[in-house]
Structure 1
Amino acid sequence: MSYSVVTGDLFAGHDAPGHPESQARLDAALAGVPTEARRIAPAKATVKDLARVHTNRHIEAVRSFCRECPPGRACYLDPDTYVTRQSFDTALYAAGAAWQAVERALDGEHCFALVRPPGHHATPDRAMGFCLFNNVAVATVRALNEISRVAIVDWDLHHGNGTQAAFYTSDRVLYCSVHQAGIFPGTGWPEEQGAGPGAGYTVNAPLAAGSAGADYALVFREVFIPAIQQFRPDVMVVSAGQDTLFDDPLGSMLLRPGDFGVLTGMLVDASSQALALVLEGGYGRSHAEVVRTICAALDGARFVPEAGRPKESTRLLVEAYAGEGQPVPL
């Protein structure tokens, strides 16, 4: 399969220089996109698209706060999450680009949407954790108008509480998250497995600080991929946050750039469907190298895992899932 990237300069409209989630970190990541990669300009989502996931009250609150923000300044919704006067429109493009990535994947082409602001912490009624609206959730709900099932794999450092909340009672979305245990936002424990029709369709793998590629590969191989293959999604979406890198200033994980090539290749090989990726976190100096590695894996390269053994805590977590049988009750 071929691959493409969706990105553009307009994301600079949402910017607070010096904040970890600034335009500078996207510019740094984009340095890793190969020059030969096909680039697609982002398209704008509509307010109606947002309303498939978010409450009207939340949408209007963010739009109003952006309008009231003085030109050239950043205004804070909470201690972590800011907006500028342009942020509402910028966020519409981020959500629209996520849909473009999913749409291209449905057409048989791997696609990576390199966008900001990120989205996986945004709940239906709240912005938080640098996120205004949930890009992956918005794209997923739109896709479910055309297809039956979507699998979401979230490898960001932090648990995607907003994505989990959006689909917690749905049996049409399999949400698999691997993340550092016990940090913001404080959710994502194994006992959080979904509710009602969605019981069993949320799979959380919280890992200890200092976990590395071997830990992630074990979770993918023994927990996520068997669940995905049993679920048989029509498309797979990755919340691609690279803040698990060894040099990321916000995290305590030890993944190397090549580990992301391993994980991407595992997901590509697990399904005949193309993969859609949407940027979440990632603030380390090696981010460009990771993006280059992910693109190479989408283009057919395969990476050998670095030597190392999983932590005992990771092995016990995986064994607990194995003891319960397949986590998806189909």
Structure 2
Amino acid sequence: MPCTVVTGDVFSGHDDPGHPESQARLDAALTGVPAGTDCIAPVRAAPGDLALVHTERHIETLRQLCRALPPGRALYLDPDTYITAGSFDAALYAAGGAWQAVERALEGEHCFALVRPPGHHATPDRAMGFCLFNNIAIAVAKALREVERVAIVDWDVHHGNGTQAAFYTTDRVLYCSVHQAGIFPGTGWPEERGAGRGAGYTINLPVVAGSTGADYAIVFRRVFAPALARFEPDALVVSAGQDALFDDPLASLLLRPEDFGALTAMLLEVYDGALALVLEGGYSVSHPAAIGSIIAALDGARFNPGPGEPKETTRQLVEAYASAGHAVP
């Protein structure tokens, strides 16, 4: 089935040149979109959409801080995360674009929201890790008004602590994350499995530095695929951060661009529907090639994980997870 891309120039209002998460990285990523791909402009999320995930205080604080900034000035909320006068509007369009991707997928069309700022670190009451609002969590919360169950697969090299927090106590969202162990934000350990009705619906597989596409592949095949099959989601959404690439400056994994095509293909094997993808991280020279591989896989191209075997630590992690009986209830 075809793939539509949601993107536009509205995100340039949130920009601090020289920061890893700048407009330049989105411009670069867009060069990986194949010619002829259907692109549509993002729409703004409504304030009520943001409130499905975030506190009113968090929303209003960001709104007021951005309004008070003079053009051309960046204010840092923490050592990593900045805002500008145009950041609030850009973040509304990022969240709205994420919903467009989910909405189109529910209608039967693959859709990739190439939006920024990213979102999966933003918690209900805090901006962090380059993220202001949690785009994918907002879109999923909105989707739950229409469908019963949604699965999120997060392959960003950093754990999506904000997305996990948003759905930690519900059995209507399955959150699966594979990420590099021990780096920012310091969460995402296997024992973080959900709570209350959500116990068992959060799956974290942290892999060690130097892991490759073979490590991601065994996690997908042995853990994520069975969990997705058991959960039977009405929608499958991908937190698509390609910062696990071998040349990404912010992490130490060694995936190749074609590995992301292989991961996409694996999801299509287990999920009989359209995928919605939302851009998270990805800061390397090879990022555009990874974007191209993902879209090619959505269009039916075949990919295999890169050569080599998974690390013994990854094998042990997968076996430990399975032997402990950690499965979706």
TM-score, length-scaled by structure 2? 0.99
1:215-294 → structure 2 map (5 Å cutoff):
215-294=215-294
User: What letter is aligned with 1:101?
Assistant: A
* Cα deviation digits, residues 46-105 of structure 1 (max 9, x gap): 111000000000001111111111211111111110011011011000000000000000
Q: Deviations over 1:293-329 (max 9, x none)?
A: 0000000001122210100110001001211335211
Structure 1 unaligned segments of length 5 or more: list them: none
Equivalent residues of 1:55, 1:124 under 8 A apart: yes
Q: What is the aligned partner in structure 2 of residue 38 from structure 1?
A: 38
Give the distance between the partners of 1:326 and 1:207, measured in 2 at CA. 17
In structure 1, what is the Cα distance between the partners aligned to 2:245 and 2:138?
Answer: 27
Return the alpha-carbon distance in structure 1 between the equivalents of residues 86 and 166 of structure 2: 26
Match for residue 306 of structure 2? 306
Residue 176 of structure 2 corresponds to which residue in structure 1? 176
- Residue pair 1:192, 1:204 contacting (<8 A) in 2 also: yes
Q: Which amino acid aligns with 1:203?
A: I
Once the two structures are superposed, residues 116-138 of structure 1 have per-residue CA deviations (whole angstroms, 9 ceiling, x without a partner) of 00000000000000000000000
Match of 1:9 in 2: 9
Q: Give distance in 2, aligned partners of 1:92 and 1:155.
A: 23
Q: Which residue of 1 aligns with 2:81?
A: 81
Equivalent residue number for residue 155 of structure 2: 155
**Letter of the structure 2 residue corresponding to residue 315 of structure 1:** R
Query: Structure 2 CA distance, aligned partners of 1:221 and 1:324?
Result: 17
Give the structure 2 partner of residue 204 of structure 1: 204
SS in 1 for 2:197: helix
Q: Which runs of 5+ in 2 are unaligned?
A: none
User: Is residue 97–residue 113 contact of structure 2 (8 Å, CA) maintained in 1?
Assistant: yes
Q: Which amino acid aligns with 1:10?
A: V
Shift of 1:145: 0.1
Q: Specify the alignment match of 1:193 in structure 2.
A: 193
Query: What's the counterpart of residue 47 of structure 1?
Result: 47
2:115 corresponding residue in structure 1? 115
Residue matched to 1:97:
97
- SS across alignment from 1:175: strand
- The answer to whether the Cα contact below 8 Å between 1:15 and 1:22 also exists between their aligned partners in 2 is yes
- Alignment partner of 1:72 is 2:68: no
- C-alpha contact (below 8 Å) 2:200/2:326 kept by paired residues: no
C-alpha distance in structure 1 between counterparts of 2:122 and 2:275, whole Å: 23
Which structure 1 residue ranges, 4+ long, deviate > 3 Å from structure 2? none
Contact persistence 1:227–1:326 (CA under 8 A) = no
Q: Is the 8 A contact 2:76 2:83 kept in 1?
A: yes
Aligned-pair identity in percent equals: 73
Cα RMSD (Å): 0.7
| TM-score normalised over the length of structure 1 | 0.99
May I ask how many residue pairs the two structures share in their alignment?
329
Q: What is the rounded CA distance, in whole Å, between the counterparts of 1:10 and 1:307 in structure 2?
A: 40
The DSSP-based 3-state class of the residue aligned with 2:96 is: helix
Name the CA distance, whole Å, in 1 between partners of 2:304 and 2:318: 21
Letter in 1 for 2:253: M
Q: Is the CA contact 2:15–2:23 (under 8 Å) kept in the aligned structure 1?
A: yes
- Counterpart position of 1:320: 320
CA shift digits 1:133-171 (9 cap, x unpaired)? 000000000000000000000000100000000000000
Tell whether the 8 Å contact from 1:226 to 1:326 is kept in structure 2 after alignment: no
